[in-house]
């Protein structure tokens, strides 16, 4: 039989058995569509996680206090108090590969404006926070070094807090209360979106860290800091410089373990990427 005859016979058979032909085509279509959809979901999930990690900032290192040990009892990560604000300031001044630093402290609070109230988080940090987080102030301004030194009662609001407390009103220059302490609103942050752990990054009030330590948490030490390297290529160099500086400042001998922890944004991204690959393979296998 010629190829043309084979084609004619095949078409006649398909036409004579319309229901069988339709069901066969439907099975193939559903099968292919399922595989494509599952793999697309996996790819989209990986891309979403990578975008959330990138939203933390640019070339970011996370430096925190290490574990403590007392009387043979070891505490968990960030359980000691060896990492201080002075350490953070020294990192900014003495590490050439570091672009900006943001000492960090966080606490859950109830914010009140007029007859409106909202349960949110207050972040105490420094003037380098917008640069480290790559987070713009769209209205007003961010606080500066003078506000930090004076422990000023000023704040910058995330978009969610603005909506919940002020609705359509302009919050700039208004006063909100946090734990019965009045704070003047001086700026509004750009919308950031969801974080990798599911919460909204815009549900936040940012104030000088000195104000949080002195007036809200009444604690002398920060537990961690976000630090931005000058470029992605200099991230490892910045990590090495910070490690050497902190070991020197904490008077650690070559035999001593670090009493601090440094993790890079790349480490989080790599872990997320590995999880995403496994998830994508799982979905492909199910499909």
CA quadruple 10, 12, 14, 20: dihedral sign: negative
Q: Would you state the pLDDT for residue 283?
A: 72
Alpha helical stretches, state H, the chain: 3-16, 18-54, 85-94, 129-133, 145-149, 159-166, 209-211, 235-249, 265-286
Q: Would you state the pLDDT for residue 272?
A: 59
Q: Would you state the pLDDT for residue 197?
A: 61
Q: Would you state the pLDDT for residue 202?
A: 93
Q: Would you state the pLDDT for residue 157?
A: 96
- 68 with 29, same domain? no
- 74 with 137, same domain? yes
- 67 with 205, same domain? yes
- 26 with 84, same domain? no
Phi-psi region of 229 (alpha: psi -120 to 50; beta: other; left: phi over 0): beta
Closest to 235 (Cα-Cα) out of 265, 205, 195, 274: 265
Rounded Cα distance between 279 and 162, Å, is: 37
What range does the domain containing 167 cover? Answer: 60-264
pTM of the model: 0.72
- 8 with 92, same domain? no
- 174 with 202, same domain? yes
Q: Would you state the pLDDT for residue 147?
A: 95
Q: Would you state the pLDDT for residue 176?
A: 96
- 69 with 42, same domain? no
- 8 with 130, same domain? no
Rounded Cα distance between 86 and 221, Å, is: 10
Beta partners for residue 189, in sequence order? 137
Structural domain total, the chain:
2
Rounded Cα distance between 35 and 58, Å, is: 35
- 278 with 156, same domain? no
- 226 with 170, same domain? yes
- 79 with 215, same domain? yes
- 40 with 66, same domain? no
Q: Would you state the pLDDT for residue 40?
A: 80
> What pLDDT tens digit does each residue of the chain (287 aa) get?
688 888 888 888 888 888 888 898 899 998 888 888 887 877 776 666 666 655 555 588 999 887 555 444 444 454 556 788 889 999 999 999 999 999 999 889 999 999 999 999 999 999 999 999 889 999 999 999 999 999 999 999 999 999 999 988 899 999 999 989 999 999 999 998 877 566 788 999 999 999 998 888 777 778 789 999 988 888 889 999 999 999 999 999 988 888 888 988 766 556 556 666 777 777 777 77
Q: Would you state the pLDDT for residue 182?
A: 95
């Amino acid at each position: 039989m010629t190829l043309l005859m084979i084609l004619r016979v095949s078409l006649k058979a398909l036409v004579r058995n319309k229901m069988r032909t339709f069901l066969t085509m439907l099975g193939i279509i559903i099968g292919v569509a399922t595989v494509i959809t599952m793999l697309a979901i996996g790819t989209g999930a990986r891309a979403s996680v990578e975008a959330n990690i990138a939203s933390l900032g640019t070339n970011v290192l996370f430096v925190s206090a290490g574990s403590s040990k007392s009387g043979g009892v070891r505490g968990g990560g960030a359980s000691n108090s060896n990492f201080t604000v002075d350490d953070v300031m020294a990192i900014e001044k003495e590490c050439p590969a570091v672009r900006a630093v943001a000492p960090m402290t966080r606490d859950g609070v109830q914010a009140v404006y007029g007859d409106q109230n909202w349960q949110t988080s207050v972040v105490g940090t420094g003037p380098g926070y917008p640069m480290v987080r790559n987070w713009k102030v769209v209205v007003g301004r961010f606080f500066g070094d003078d506000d930090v030194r004076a422990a000023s009662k000023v704040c910058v609001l995330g978009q969610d807090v603005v909506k919940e407390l002020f609705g359509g009103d302009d919050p700039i220059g208004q006063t909100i209360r946090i734990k019965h302490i009045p704070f003047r609103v001086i700026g509004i942050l750009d919308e950031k979106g969801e974080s990798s752990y599911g919460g909204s990054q815009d549900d936040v009030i940012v104030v000088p860290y000195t104000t949080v330590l002195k007036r809200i948490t009444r604690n002398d030490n920060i537990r961690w800091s976000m630090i931005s390297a000058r470029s992605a290529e200099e991230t490892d160099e910045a990590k090495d410089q910070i490690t050497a500086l902190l070991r020197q400042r904490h008077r650690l001998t070559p035999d001593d373990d670090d009493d601090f922890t440094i993790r890079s944004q790349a480490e989080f991204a790599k872990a997320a990427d590995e999880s995403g690959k496994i998830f994508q393979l799982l979905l492909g296998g199910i499909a």
